Amino acid sequence: MDSQFTPRINGARLWQSLMDLGALGATPKGGVCRIALTEDDRKGRDLVASWCREAGLDVRVDEIGNVFARRAGTDPTAPAVATGSHIDTQPSGGKFDGNFGVLAGLEVMRTLNDLGIATRAPLEVAIWTNEEGTRFTPVMMGSGVFAGVFDAEFARRQQDRDGVSVGDALAAIGYRGTQRAGEVPGGMYSAYFEAHIEQGPVLEAAGLPIGVVSGALGQQWYDVTVTGQDAHAGPTPLALRHDALLASARMIEAVNRIARDEAPHGRGTVGFLEVTPNSRNVIPGRVDFSVDVRHLSQDGLDRMDAAMRGAFAGIADAAAVDVEIRQVVKFEPCLFAPACVDSVRRAAVGLDLPHMDVVSGAGHDAVYVAQRAPTGMIFVPCKDGISHNELEDALPEHIEAGANVLLRAMLEHAR
């Protein structure tokens, strides 16, 4: 890019767009509840699609409801440079998770229109369906179908708790498109960038506005059942107990220790615990709990898996209980394309924005898109690292900085 020419996005316009979209499904505490494929989701899609059309973009919808808005390039044969994210939220979500990435992409298009800038390659904004997985599973459904991880028909058959299928919900809101999922006019993207709030505290703690995301942690989730013997809390001596909860507590501590041994990229969390019979004067005879382990490499995940299984077996033997471990989810670690990561870093340097390299601890649509196209991500801080929460917040200057990095990175690839 010409070092003498540095286009900048309209930060006030981007912020207002975020606030306007956040009004759809607004909650009393200032958050957003806009669940995938509901009436509020339709309203959000309609609003953003109308803004895209006003910006002169060509809007199309694929068979799983992903929405794509394209700005033509001067070379119709060139593969597009894309960006995007999602606009569905958690039940008690915020205004920025996902929404920032979509509207930052739209703001890139608006800015280029304002400045009369033509690009050789087309530019495209994607709104991915059902990233959050709140109403329908699997999570990151739209980008997963796009990447070929899930079959479109399989995804459309999935049902919510009321028995409504994805396919029927798409039809009900008018977003069951005809384009085959994964087909891109002109061929697969030459690059894809996703701007996002960090959803963690690292950037804020460092006092930096930009995170250059090198990859995303792989994830493995487990359901664990520990079986002992429920018995009366009074007459049963400690040495003769088969206490499933005591053993589980030691296992939970082991999860934390195993993750600490894999610093800085190891993560270990137990977020669900169910005790049976759950009575104050009965020794627990059964405990069910979840384990979530994450790492930036598959070797790291394998080490954590082996360490967990070994530790749990030893604890179970010492406590005279049985343990069953069932792996229920697996996301491979993702390293983003060096060319895209370097473009994000150069953009931050060129804009004199302080930055640091980070990894994503959460899953994002970019992780699936990376299986089809060179991909990079841009993080900006969120207040107190809070996300998936009505208190989710970000500073306007950080939102503007992230969108300017996105603009510069996309222009580098679109020429």
Q: Give the pLDDT confidence of 76-97 residue by residue, as tens digits.
A: 899 999 999 999 999 999 999 9
Q: DSSP class of residue 119? A: -
Query: Which stretches of 134-238 are assigned E, i.e. beta strand?
Result: 191-197, 210-216, 218-227, 231-232
Q: 214 near 292, Cβ under 8 Å?
A: no
Rounded (10°) angle between helices 39-54 and 11-22 = 150
Supply 341's token pair.
């990561």
pTM value > 0.85:
yes
10 Å Cβ neighbour count for 341?
21
Chain-centre distance for alpha carbon 140:
7
pLDDT of residue 76: 87
Tens digits of residue pLDDT in 393-405: 999 999 999 999 9
Query: Is residue 303 exposed (0-12), middle (13-18) or buried (19+ Cβ within 10 Å)?
Result: middle
Q: Which of these, 278, 294, 296, 298, lies nearest to 286 by C-alpha position?
A: 278
pLDDT of residue 6: 84
pLDDT of residue 329: 87
Tens digits of residue pLDDT in 111-157: 999 999 999 999 999 999 999 999 999 999 999 999 999 999 999 99
10 Å Cβ neighbour count for 50?
11
Cα dist from 66 to 78, 100, 155, 181, 299, whole Å? 22, 17, 12, 8, 34
Q: 298 near 218, Cβ under 8 Å?
A: yes
Tens digits of residue pLDDT in 293-321: 999 999 999 999 999 999 999 999 999 99
Q: At a CB cut-off of 8 Å and minimum separation 6, what does 69 contact?
A: 49, 52, 53, 55, 57, 58, 59, 106, 109, 124, 125
Q: What percent of the chain has pLDDT over 70?
A: 99
pLDDT of residue 1: 47
Average pLDDT of the segment spanning 16-42: 97
10 Å Cβ neighbour count for 93?
26
pLDDT of residue 4: 58
Query: Which stretches of 90-161 are assigned E, i.e. beta strand?
Result: 123-127
Supply 406's token pair.
């996105």
Binding residue numbers: 86, 97, 132, 196, 388
Helices (H) and strands (E) in the chain, counts: 12, 16
pLDDT of residue 239: 96
Q: At a CB cut-off of 8 Å and minimum separation 6, what does 4 contact?
A: none
In this structure, what are the phi and psi dihedrals at residue 282, rounded to the nearest 5 degrees? -125, 130
Domains of the chain: which residue ranges? 11-216+333-414, 218-331
Asked if domains 11-216+333-414 and 218-331 share a fold, the reply is no
The CA angle 372-187-79, to the nearest 5 degrees, is 100
What is the DSSP pairing of strand 273-276 with strand 286-295?
antiparallel
Strand-pairing partners, residue 33, are none
For 237-265, what is the HEC assignment? CHHHCCCHHHHHHHHHHHHHHHHHCCCCC
Cα dist from 281 to 43, 245, 249, whole Å? 52, 13, 18
Q: Cα-atom radius of gyration of the chain, to the nearest Å? A: 23
Binding residue numbers for Zn(2+): 86, 97, 132, 196, 388
Q: Determine the 3-state secondary structure of 220 from DSSP.
A: strand
Kindly compute the dihedral angle of the four CA atoms of residues 169, 70, 349, 397, in this order, to the nearest 10 degrees. -60
Average pLDDT of the segment spanning 38-59: 98
Average pLDDT of the segment spanning 53-72: 98
Identity of the amino acid at 82: A
CA dist., res. 87 & res. 219, Å (int): 23
Q: So what CATH class is 11-216+333-414? A: alpha beta
Does the domain at residues 218-331 carry the CATH identifier 3.30.70.360?
yes
Rounded (10°) angle between helices 338-350 and 396-414 = 120
